[in-house]
Amino acid sequence: MLFRRSLLCLAISATLPFATFAAENAAPATEDNIEFNDQFLLNMGSTVDVSRYAQGNPVLPGIYRVKISLNGKNKTTQDVEFKENGTPRATPCITVMMLRQAGVDTSVLSGGLADDDNVTCVDIKAAYNNATVNFDTAKLTLELTLPQLYVMKVPQGYVDPSLWDEGIPAALVSYNINGWRNETDDDNSDTAYAGLQYGLNFGAWRLRSRGSLNWDSDSGTEYDNQDIYLQRDIPAIKAQLVAGETFTNGDTFDSISLRGLRLYSDDRMRPEGTTTYAPVVRGTANSNAKVTVMQSGNKIYETTVPPGPFELSDLSTTGYGNDIEVTIEESDGSKRTFTVPFSSVTQMLRPGSSRWEFGLGELNDESISDNPQVGYATGYYGINNTFTGYVGVQYTDMDYYAGLLGLAVNTRIGAFALDVTQSHAQIDDLGTMEGQSYRLSYSKVIETTDTSFNVAAYRFSTADYLTLRDAAQLNEDIQDQDHYYDSNEELYANYERKKSQYQVSISQPLEFNDKSYGSFYVTGSWENYWNEDGYTSSYNMGYSNSFSYVSYSLSLQRTYDEDGERDDSIYLNLSIPLSMFSSEGKSLAGFNNLNASMRTDTKGSYGMNNSASGNTEDGQFNYSVSTNTNSGDYGDLNQVSGYGSWRGPYGPLSVSASFSDDSSKQYSANYSGGMVLHSGGLTLAPNSFSDTNPMILVHASGAKGATLGYGQGELNSSGYAIMPYASAYRENSVGLNISTLDADVEVKSTREIAIPRDGAVVRVDFATDEGRSLLLELQRSDNGFIPLGADVRSEKNESVGIVGQAGQAYVRGIEDQGTLRVVWGQGADSSCTVHYQITDSAQKVGMTTFLTNQRCQMP
């Protein structure tokens, strides 16, 4: 009862001084004084002096950090100066820059105001018809309301470049660690992998490096550095400047690793923005399996997955145009490898838009001892709504050059791109090698059927066509006197040169008459080489659907090697929620789902896996147990395994173990996360992060235990947390959940907006009041009543609270003991003084201390 009464008291106390908000919001253009009926607040002969609220809550002159909203939508958060105007409410100084950043059309301003962005205060009521301004002191929001006529017409999500935040100085480390142990009767095998990404931010500059640390019990430790580079954006030309080791984009020429300088346009800075394509890796594990992902000879990802289908959608790739190789190593030591085609889709540009890239440096390839100097340039231009033209040129100091000319066409049946590349290479002892490569690509989403052709491409190259890397490698092999061929001509005849290649990826949901019948996908790749008679190919097809409570998926995979040997795999997976067997719809024995997977190679070999999975109520811990049976070429093996993962505040941790009837065992552990070193200390991130992805450092002093609305981050003892994924050059909403606070602290607002530049660490501060909160039950010494809405003042005469119903006062920011003065009028008999002391045994209402029977002494 006491708790409920206290809440009512606080609600009424908060309502009274802000009573003018309703009037202000209902008619924000009105500046007339609001008159109060004192009899409404009459309480046993005493009234509250409310004249100071006649024009709304008082606002003293000064600089305040406030949100700025336009027509009800928050736009920015910045410092605003409030100037003296002879009334209790100071006037906010609204500059031209503030209007422009909020999305207001400033071209209508006259008298040179539009050229004086940051100095002159604009009277927007005079400058814009029917415009209003209101400062909501409770939300610390400066509310601008203007007719739509004066709102700038920009694409959704567009942000004025002046608001892009370059972030704070910081050092970054991201890690993905995987440990694996295999035990058999004959041998034990231990491996460990750590994918590492380092970073250092200073101003607009970003220093980045990626690498992997690999260890196994046989060969020891090896560190493989993928790249190191210095990067910054150049907003004036909407471009990125990179110096160091990076991969070029592969949408024009094949992607190469370049050690040097690159300057390229960044579509994300344009109003319409863009998204980066990366493939999704799908597969099926038959046991607790280690999945390794390679690209361009580099290990870019490794993790452990439980039995059943898996999907990797968070890869950090190294450029476009280089296929991805995926290896699945089962707990019994068997391995399967397949390739995921990776090419960028057709790039159509808006009319008048351009995309370009320049580079100069050295080919960065460890397999080549004498790397050539390289220069290249590419450019795209949107001619009109139908055509986009593009060109490219490459040159090296080993007398190799290539030129590309292409045209992309936007049609009703999809987007096509056709280009031809001419190469010229002068190879020692082989003379001049010239050839052409023709490429046709297509992409389309058919809206009527929702069919998505993600990538469809065909390439044919003539016999003497060489890519830049082919030419460099061939020149290296010829200079190497240890090759096994009788002549350089024989070496060239056996040199692997791609002749043709075809790739396709299609996904299709099946819906008829507003009813879903599942979905299917098809992917395929086919390629052959001039020096080989055969070809290699890979085809994948999958279908998924559900009936009643049961969901299922069927996938088929077929591959051919260069000798024409075929390998087939068929997978069937069923998922059954165990709640369907419970009358109360709950889990059974702590498990939520039963999964059954079957596979065969169409040659008599088969495998079967059954697993039960569950999770705790808060979703923090997931677990599964499974059995696995194999026969035929898969090996006659029975196995039982367990898998568990914990989503901690500073990164997910997973462990697994498997035991087989041949006495073999497998153990693994995986952990990923990151950390940021900044002026406020070292803060751990809830996930690993990519090398250039911007992130947000959230700070709310004293608010330990509060969680982020996105990213599962939790504020540490210093009040910091990391939101590891943010969109560059776009608004990112940062929310704070204060229901999990560990301390008695008031958070002034729970939502802010951040707009980071590429790779930035942007700090977002939430204002807090860490002062102790106290609820006092006051009684006047003359047995009179303390009026509703009376002010509570500290010994420094600062307002620290207000009196609510039944003489209960809520205050914040006080010491363990002291004196408070309660004021409700101008006369000598309109105030009283209370002496209080907080003891360890004091009663609590939530985190607020509650003191009863506090005597307030009259003069």
Highest mean pLDDT among 51-55, 169-173, 729-733: 169-173
Residue 553 binned pLDDT confidence (cut-offs 50, 70, 90): very high
Largest Cα separation within the chain, whole Å, is: 116
The DSSP bridge partners found for residue 504 are: 456, 524
* pLDDT at residue 30, rounded to an integer: 41
Confidence band for 583, pLDDT divided at 50, 70 and 90:
low
The answer to which of 234-248, 334-348, 623-637 has the lowest mean pLDDT is 334-348
Per cent of the chain over pLDDT 70 is 85
Residue 211 CA to residue 194 CA, distance in Å, equals 9
The single-letter code of the amino acid at 326 is: V
Strand partners, 465: none
Q: What average pLDDT does range 726-744 have in this prediction?
A: 86
List of long-range contacts for 272-279, beta carbons under 8 Å, 24+ apart: 272/155, 272/350, 273/155, 273/157, 273/729, 273/730, 277/320, 277/344, 277/345, 278/315, 278/317, 279/315, 279/317, 279/324, 279/340, 279/341, 279/342
> Is the per-residue pLDDT at 280 higher than 80?
no
Q: Which two tokens stand for residue 596?
A: 């059954």
Residue 116 has pLDDT above 70, yes or no: no
Q: Which of 122-131, 228-237, 806-815 has the highest mean pLDDT?
A: 228-237
Q: How many CB atoms lie within 10 A of CB 449?
A: 11
- Report pLDDT digits (tens) over 687-728: 888 777 899 999 999 889 888 876 568 899 899 999 988 889
Q: Compute the distance between CA of residue 715 and CA of residue 649 in angstroms, rounded to an integer.
A: 9
Which pair of structure tokens corresponds to residue 639? Answer: 């196995």
DSSP secondary structure of 526-580: EEEETT-SSEEEEEEEEEEEEETTEEEEEEEEEEE-TT--EEEEEEEEEEEEGGG
Token representation of residue 427: 């190879």
pTM attached to this predicted model: 0.75
Closest CA to 469 of 366, 378, 390: 366
Q: How far apart are CA 614 and CA 616, in angstroms?
A: 7
Say which range, 46-55, 83-92, 663-672, has the weakest mean pLDDT: 46-55
Closest Cα partner for 767 from 82, 64, 63? 64
Residue with tokens 């040169």: 497
Strands 808-814 and 799-803: antiparallel
Q: For residues 822 and 441, which has the higher predicted lDDT (pLDDT)?
A: 822
Sequence-distant (6+) residues with CB within 8 A of 504 are 453, 455, 456, 457, 522, 523, 524, 525
Per-residue confidence at 228, pLDDT binned at 50, 70, 90?
Answer: very high
pLDDT band of residue 231 (cuts 50, 70, 90) is very high
Interatomic CA distance for residues 286 and 329, integer angstroms:
10
**End-to-end Cα, the chain, rounded Å:** 33
**Sign, CA torsion 427/431/432/437:** negative
Residue 604 CB neighbours (<10 A):
9
Show the domains of the chain with their CATH numbers.
Answer: 58-163 (3.10.20.410), 679-769 (2.60.40.2610), 772-857 (2.60.40.2070)
- Residues linked to residue 141 through DSSP beta bridges, in sequence order: 67, 136
Q: Which residue, chain included where needed, has tokens 């493939």?
A: 279
**pLDDT for residue 384 is more than 50:** yes
| Tens-place pLDDT, residues 70-80 | 888 888 888 88
Buried b (16+ CB within 10 A) or exposed e, 132-162: bbbbbbebbbbbbbbeeebeeeeeeebbbee
Helix (H, G, I), strand (E, B) or coil at 807: helix
Cα separation, 224 vs 195, whole angstroms = 10
69 contacts: CB under 8 Å, gap ≥ 6? 75, 102, 141, 142, 143, 144
The model's confidence at residue 483, banded by pLDDT at 50, 70 and 90, is low
Are 417 and 407 a contacting pair, CB within 8 Å? yes
Report the C-alpha gap between 330 and 313 in whole angstroms: 21
For residue 88, what pLDDT is reported? Answer: 77
* 8 Å CB contact between 169 and 156: no
Task: Say if residue 490's pLDDT is above 80.
Answer: yes
Query: What's the order of all strands across the beta sheet hosting 73-83?
Result: 91-92, 73-83, 62-70, 141-145, 132-136
Segment 583-600 mean pLDDT: 81
CA–CA dist 351, 785 (Å, integer)? 74
Q: Which two tokens stand for residue 823?
A: 């004021």
Rounded distance, CA 62 to CA 117, Å?
20
Query: Predicted confidence band at 735 (pLDDT cuts at 50, 70, 90)?
Result: confident
> In terms of pLDDT, which residue wins out, 2 or 737?
737
d(CA 822, CA 808): 11
Taking the alpha carbons of 307, 312, 314, 319 in that order, is the dihedral positive or negative? positive
DSSP-derived secondary structure letter, 728: T
Rounded to whole angstroms, the Cα distance separating 726 from 371 reads: 37
pLDDT value, residue 13? 43
Burial of 276 (0-12, 13-18, 19+ CB in 10 A): exposed
Between 27-36, 421-430, 654-663, 756-765, the lowest mean confidence (pLDDT) is in 27-36
With 80 as the cut, is the pLDDT of residue 341 above it? no
Residue 67 binned pLDDT confidence (cut-offs 50, 70, 90): confident
pLDDT at 642: 93
User: CA nearest 790: which of 17, 5, 54, 9?
Assistant: 17
Q: For residue 508, is it left (φ>0), alpha (ψ between -120 and 50) or beta? A: beta
Q: Are 456 and 441 in contact (CB under 8 A)?
A: yes
Nearest alpha carbon to residue 91 among 62, 131, 117? 62
Q: Which residue did the predictor score with more confidence, 28 or 155?
A: 155
Structure tokens at 603: 């040659």
Which residue from 594, 538, 530 is spatially nearest to 567, judged by alpha carbons? 538
- CA–CA gap between residue 117 and residue 114 (Å, rounded): 6
Lowest mean pLDDT among 57-61, 273-277, 600-604: 273-277
- Supply 719's token pair: 């009040």
What is d(CA 403, CA 772) in angstroms, rounded to the nearest whole number?
71
Give the pLDDT mean for 233-248. 94
SS (H, E, C) 812-843: EEECCEEEEEEECCCCCCCEEEEEEECCCCCE
d(CA 228, CA 220): 24
pLDDT of residue 275: 43
Nearest to 376 by CA among 255, 225, 542, 541: 255
Q: What share of the chain is helix, strand, coil (3-state, %, to 5)?
A: 10, 55, 35
Structure token pair of residue 393? 């040129």
Question: So what's the pLDDT on residue 313?
Answer: 64
**What rounded mean pLDDT belongs to the chain?**
82
CA separation for the pair 13, 606 (Å, rounded)? 72
In tens, the pLDDT along 455-473 reads: 667 889 999 999 999 999 8
CB-CB contact of 773 with 811 (8 Å): yes
pLDDT surpasses 70 at 794? yes
In this prediction, residues 174-199 reach a mean pLDDT of 90
Element (H, E) at 98: helix 96-102
**Rounded distance between C-alpha atoms, residue 478 and residue 539, angstroms:** 36
